[in-house]
């Protein structure tokens, strides 16, 4: 089992990993928790708000010709040596609905028959099926249930657990520090 723990170092977070079978042949690798946003300016000329809430980033862009903003909230883990994405956890609006989606993006090489598991602290894991893949990786999307959002707001750590085709179980620990303030910023746009 791979456990990824965050070591705080200013605005950049380093994560030490014991095994990274998905991205490198090295027995030991470092993972960088990327906290950088791209401050895209919407086509309307408005400045796009980008805010951080602890380890969580809220990023908004314009929708083009209209003045409406489209926002997302995310935390991302990248492999340091290759800058390859290991995990991206995003909350974003669902098209034509007032409900939000959670979207998790991971690399190829996962056992798709085994569901992705989300576990807040020591609570019972939430199981999510993988929904699709493309040239960039494998994805699990689901409507964000109110009880999940409440659990994320009250929790300290979110474990994202998935199984690889090499027979390994990978656990990536995401801090929930700042989740509540980031989710309030996200909801206000």
pLDDT tens, residue by residue, 101-130: 999 999 999 999 999 999 999 999 999 999
pLDDT for 53 equals 47
Query: Based on C-alpha coordinates, what's the Rg of the chain?
Result: 17
pLDDT for 99 equals 92
pLDDT for 54 equals 58
Contact 100, 141 (CB under 8 A): no
Q: Residue 36: pLDDT band by 50, 70, 90 thresholds?
A: very low
| Angstrom distance (rounded) from CA 102 to CA 148 | 10
pLDDT for 43 equals 28
Q: Residue 141: pLDDT band by 50, 70, 90 thresholds?
A: very high
pLDDT for 114 equals 97
Mean pLDDT, residues 76-81 taken together? 88
Mean pLDDT, residues 177-184 taken together? 94
pLDDT for 146 equals 95
| Angstrom distance (rounded) from CA 21 to CA 163 | 11
Q: Please report, rounded to a whole number, the percentage of residues in the chain having pLDDT higher than 70.
A: 69
Q: Domains in the chain, please, with CATH?
A: 2-188 (2.60.40.1880)
Contact 42, 23 (CB under 8 A): no
Residue 68 predicted with pLDDT over 80: no
Mean pLDDT of the chain: 76
DSSP secondary structure code for residue 46 in this structure: P
pLDDT for 69 equals 76
Sign for the CA dihedral angle at 159, 162, 163, 166 comes to negative
| Per-residue CA distances from 4 to 28, 70, 106, 161, 185 (Å) | 12, 31, 15, 11, 27
Residue 74 predicted with pLDDT over 80: yes
């Amino acid at each position: 089992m791979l456990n990824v723990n965050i070591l705080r170092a200013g605005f950049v977070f380093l994560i030490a990993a014991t095994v990274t079978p998905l991205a490198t042949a090295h027995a030991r690798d470092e993972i960088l928790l990327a906290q950088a946003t791209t401050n895209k300016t919407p086509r309307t000329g408005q400045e796009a708000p980008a805010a951080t809430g602890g380890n969580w980033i809220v990023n908004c862009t314009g929708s083009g010709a209209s003045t409406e903003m489209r926002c997302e909230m995310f935390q991302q883990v990248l492999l340091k040596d290759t800058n390859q994405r290991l995990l991206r956890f995003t909350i974003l609006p669902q098209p034509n609905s007032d409900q939000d989606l959670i979207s998790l993006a991971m690399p190829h090489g996962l056992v798709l028959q085994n569901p992705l598991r989300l576990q807040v602290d020591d609570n019972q894991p939430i199981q999510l099926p993988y929904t699709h893949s493309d040239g960039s990786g494998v994805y699990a999307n689901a409507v964000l249930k109110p009880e999940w959002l409440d659990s994320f707001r009250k929790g300290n750590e979110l474990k994202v657990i998935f199984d690889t085709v090499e027979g390994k179980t990978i656990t990536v620990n995401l801090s929930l520090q700042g989740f509540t303030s980031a989710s309030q910023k996200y909801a206000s746009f």
